[in-house]
C-alpha cells in the first residue's frame, strides 16, 4: 500500500513532461531567416509547472519540463517572454541565417513557480538540449 502514493506522484509528474520527438540536431533557418530554440532542462523542482513562451506577440508554444521549442523568425530584436503568475522576459537579437538559444527554468513563486529565461551560447545549448523532447 505504501507504493501506491509514490506511483501516483510519479504518474502525475510524468504527465507534466514534454512528450514530442527527441532533439536530434539544430535545424538550419531558411535563407535570410533566423532560428530560435527555447529549452528547459528536466528538473524535479517546478517539474509540474509549464508555461506559454512567446517572441514579442508571436506565441511559440507551451514549454514543459524536459522540453524544447523551435521557431523560425525574421531577423530582428525579440522580447522572449513566459508567464505563470509573473511574466519574465529576455531580449534576443536575431541576425539573418543565425540560430540562437534561450534556456528556461522555474523559480519559486507565491502560488506557482515563475519562469526564468536566459540567453545561452550555441555550444551550451547543444549540451543542454541534447536529451530533451519537443514541447508544443
Instruction: Encode the chain (136 residues) as per-residue pLDDT tens digits.
Output: 554 443 334 434 444 556 678 899 999 999 999 999 999 998 776 667 889 999 999 999 999 999 999 999 999 999 999 988 889 999 999 999 999 999 999 877 667 778 999 999 999 999 999 999 998 8
Q: Is the separation of the CB atoms in 55 and 78 below 8 Å?
A: yes
How far apart are the C-alpha atoms of 101 and 119, rounded to whole Å?
6
Kindly report whether the global pTM for this prediction surpasses the value 0.85: no
Domains contained in the chain, CATH given: 34-134 (2.60.40)
- Residue 46 C-alpha cell reads as 517546478
Amino acid at each position: 500500500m505504501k507504493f501506491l502514493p509514490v506511483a501516483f506522484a510519479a504518474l502525475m509528474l510524468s504527465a507534466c513532461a514534454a512528450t514530442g520527438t527527441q532533439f536530434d540536431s539544430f535545424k538550419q533557418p531558411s535563407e535570410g531567416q533566423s532560428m530560435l530554440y527555447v529549452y528547459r532542462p528536466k528538473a524535479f523542482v517546478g517539474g509540474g509547472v509549464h508555461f506559454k513562451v512567446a517572441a514579442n506577440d508571436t506565441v511559440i508554444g507551451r514549454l514543459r519540463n524536459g522540453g524544447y521549442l523551435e521557431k523560425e523568425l525574421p531577423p530582428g530584436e525579440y522580447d522572449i517572454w513566459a508567464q505563470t503568475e509573473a511574466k519574465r522576459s529576455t531580449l534576443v537579437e536575431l541576425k539573418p541565417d543565425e540560430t540562437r538559444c534561450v534556456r528556461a527554468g522555474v523559480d519559486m513563486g507565491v502560488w506557482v513557480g515563475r519562469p526564468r529565461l536566459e540567453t545561452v551560447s550555441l555550444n551550451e545549448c547543444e549540451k543542454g538540449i541534447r536529451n530533451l523532447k519537443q514541447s508544443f
